[in-house]
Amino acid sequence: MSRNSLLALTAGTAGALLLGYCIYYDRKRRSDPNYKKKVHERRQKTNPLPFVCDYRGESTSDDTFELNDHEVVQHYFQNEIKMAEDLFRQAKLDAGLVHLANAIMVCAQPVALLEAMKVALPERIFNLLLTKLPELQLPNPLGETTGVDLALD
């Protein structure tokens, strides 16, 4: 064997061993029963939400929420919707409604979002959401001037 082919064989073997090592330990790490919980906690620590309303509608963060940064607003909106869904699955309606109200607050088209929520959410939860908006001191996007009829008959 020539020196170049021996070097290529050694490099290929080392690469294959490294790849096998990575796959083995990744599988071992993911098989941990608390893996999802640890990942969720780590993500919450590294990427906290810039603005969150608590149950009384007061801001719980001192950071300013930059509404001009589309990516930040989109990320915040998606996180709020996801958190609301998770809380609804856990039967924590009040907390879920607060997160939905936060999502409505930053949405560029709140009326369209409420129309979609009216279709997607059960009527009881949608009615609770409509009553939660004024409690959180958020402007009601379904005001008389919108011209949109969302009667709950």
Residue 150 located in a structural domain? no
Note whether residue 119 is domain-resident.
Answer: yes
Q: Which residues contact 85 (CB under 8 A, 6 or more apart)?
A: 96
Domain extent for 115: 68-136
Structural domain contains residue 86: yes
CATH number at residue 88: 1.20.960.10
**Burial annotation 104-120 (CB, 10 A radius, 16+ → b, else e):** bbbbeebbebbeebbee
Q: Collapse the DSSP code of 53 into the 3-class scheme (helix H, G, I; strand E, B; otherwise coil) and give the result.
A: strand
**Mean pLDDT calculated for residue range 66-83:** 81
pTM of the predicted structure, to 2 decimals: 0.48
pLDDT band, very low/low/confident/very high, at 19 (cuts 50, 70, 90): very high
d(CA 145, CA 112): 15
Q: What pLDDT is stored for residue 103 in this prediction?
A: 87
* Residue 115 belongs to a domain: yes
Classify residue 80: in a domain, yes or no.
yes
116 within domain boundaries: yes
- Which three-class secondary structure state does DSSP give residue 71? helix
With a cut of 60, say whether residue 137 has pLDDT above it. no
Mean pLDDT of all residues in the chain?
A: 77
Contact 150, 118 (CB under 8 A): yes
State the total domains in the chain.
Answer: 1
Query: What's the mean pLDDT in 45-68?
Result: 51
